[in-house]
Amino acid sequence: MNAGDIHGEEIHVFSAGDRKRVHAALHELMASPPLRTTLQCQHLLQYIVNHTLTGEDALLRERVIGKEVFGRKPDYEPGEDPVVRIRAADLRKRLALYYQSIHTVPEVRIDVPSGSYRAVFTWKTEDAGVESHPHFVSLEDPAVVPSPESSTEVGQASLEISEPLTGAPVLPLPLIPAASPDPSFRGGSRWPWIVVLVLLIAGTFTGVNWYRGRADRMLRTFWTPVLDSSKPVLISIGSNAVYRVSDDKADEYSRQNHIENSGMEFFPKFDPGQSFASTGLYPAGDSFVALGDVASVAETVSMLAHFTKTFQERFPNDISFAEVRNNPTVLIGGFNNPMTRELTRNFRFVLASRNRIEDRNQPGKAWVLHASSDSHDTEDYAIVTRVLRHEEDEPLVSVAGMGQYGTLAATNFVCKPESLQQLGANLGKDWQRHNFQIVLRIKIIDFKPVSTSIIATHTW
């Protein structure tokens, strides 16, 4: 397993071999007596393990698990319906039963610690095969017996145990017995222990630096065209189309409604059918930026600062096409960024109409965003475009969501090493040497992008 720390956030990157070992351990757990009779615990464990391996911590929240595993509505209240907590507690007890019942140290031990819905994997070491004394427990033991409420029906299935486990001889995990101290150390010098401690500390720092270097290499693979340029990066951020009330109309309304101290931040109340003269409105260009786009800029800036790359933040109307040609450029925003629409309009995947991504190579093929009537979006789509330096033109990166959540998810995708790992499998060998576009589908829960998947790609 590889882990790194970048931008102050812990990153876990599992190799293909690590994932294979974990899935083998998961298969053994599913077939074991404590778990093979309870489909709900199986589904919960499989969900937790899979999303831990992919690093999708946002999908390991209680509300999300309730919806995805137990079929609850997105707005259900975990406090009123603690199905996840009940099943998780039951799962932990069954895991404990299984590991107490085996005679050898497993290749991978899977635990779900209390207070978290994230799996923890303990890997077998070479010296971990020493047997321990047997210990007998049963389901009657209050330390391991499932709670009464855990046997109630949840969703479409209930907990049923077809094979009694009472009285079965069960062994705890083997422990390594303490070795007798070497006589040469009794009452002798402490230097050997100090040397060991120093070596451990040095090894820890070496490992951390190696992991950090691995994460950096993944990021650099995507961003090399931008980072290798000697010129500062231009970050173009789109703004939303907003009208503001003119000062004289706002002052008049404030006096009439006795809200003189509200400044300009209030919503005028209109009667049904009441109109408002257009002379009292004016377009506020480059004044309002969606929160998701702001977060996207912050993520991009953090990544560039990590690599000590200089940058400038600009609005589209403050950048000329000549500047884009002469500087590496990152375009943030889709429909709300005219520079994005103009510079990507001749590529294969393009933003179209007001809520579509179209495939220009396959007329009629499109991905359509159906916005909800209450603005509580549950999905979004985005296009990521990366164009290498060509002749005199500097490289270009565009992260264009249909909405702010799509833009934020696309930015997170290109700034997170664990996400960039997917590019090799989807774009083919040597993808880093080519121009490419990818279309992303984003799942949204509670106004946050929680899952991003690649649904279409193109390289040239």
Instruction: Read off the pLDDT band of 137 (50, 70, 90).
Output: very low
More confident residue, 152 or 277: 277
**Residue of 428 and 400 predicted with greater confidence:** 400
Q: Is the pLDDT of residue 442 over 80?
A: yes
Query: What mean pLDDT do residues 158-181 have?
Result: 38
Please check the confidence at residue 192 and state whether its pLDDT lies above 70. Answer: no
Confidence grade of residue 306 (pLDDT, cut at 50, 70, 90):
very high
Q: What are phi and psi of 198, to 5 degrees?
A: -60, -40
Residue 183 pLDDT exceeds 50: no
Lowest-pLDDT choice from 51-65, 225-239, 244-258, 426-440 = 244-258
Whether 209 has a pLDDT exceeding 90, the answer reads: no
Q: What percent of the chain has pLDDT over 90?
A: 46
Distance of CA 264 to CAs 260, 274, 277, Å? 10, 21, 18
Which three-class secondary structure string do you get for the chain? CEEEEECCEEEEECCHHHHHHHHHHHHHHHHCHHHHCCHHHHHHHHHHHHHHHCCCHHHHCHHHHHHHHHCCCCCCCCCCCCHHHHHHHHHHHHHHHHHHHCCCCCCEEEECCCCCCCCEEEECCCCCCCCCCCCCCCCCCCCCCCCHHHHCCECCECCCCCCCCCCCCCCCCCCCCCCCCCHHHCCCCCHHHHHHHHHHHHHHHHHHHHHHHHHHHHHHHHHHHHHCCCCCEEEEECCCCCEEECHHHHHHHHHHHCCHHHCCCCCCCCCCCCCCCHHHEEECCCCCCCHHHHHHHHHHHHHHHHCCCCEEEECHHHCCHHHHHHCCEEEECCCCCHHHHHHCCCCCEEEECCCEEEECCCCCCEEECCCCCCCCCCEEEEEEEEECCECCECCEEEEEECCHHHHHHHHHHHHCHHHHCHHHHHHCCCHHHCCEEEEEEEEEECCEEEEEEEEEEEEC
Residue 213 binned pLDDT confidence (cut-offs 50, 70, 90)? low
Domain map of the chain by residue range?
2-178, 217-240+288-459, 243-283
Give mean pLDDT, residues 337-362.
Answer: 96
Determine the average pLDDT of the residues in 284-298: 89
Q: Across residues 227-248, what is the average pLDDT?
A: 91
pTM: 0.56
Does 279 have pLDDT greater than 50? yes
pLDDT class of 222 with cuts at 50, 70, 90: very high
Lowest mean per-residue pLDDT among 37-41, 375-379, 407-411, 427-431: 375-379
Give the pLDDT band of residue 368 (cuts 50, 70, 90). very high
Compute the mean pLDDT over every residue in the chain, rounded to the nearest whole number: 80
When pLDDT is averaged across residues 348-354 and rounded to a whole number, the result is 95
| 217-240+288-459 placed in CATH 3.30.379.10 | yes
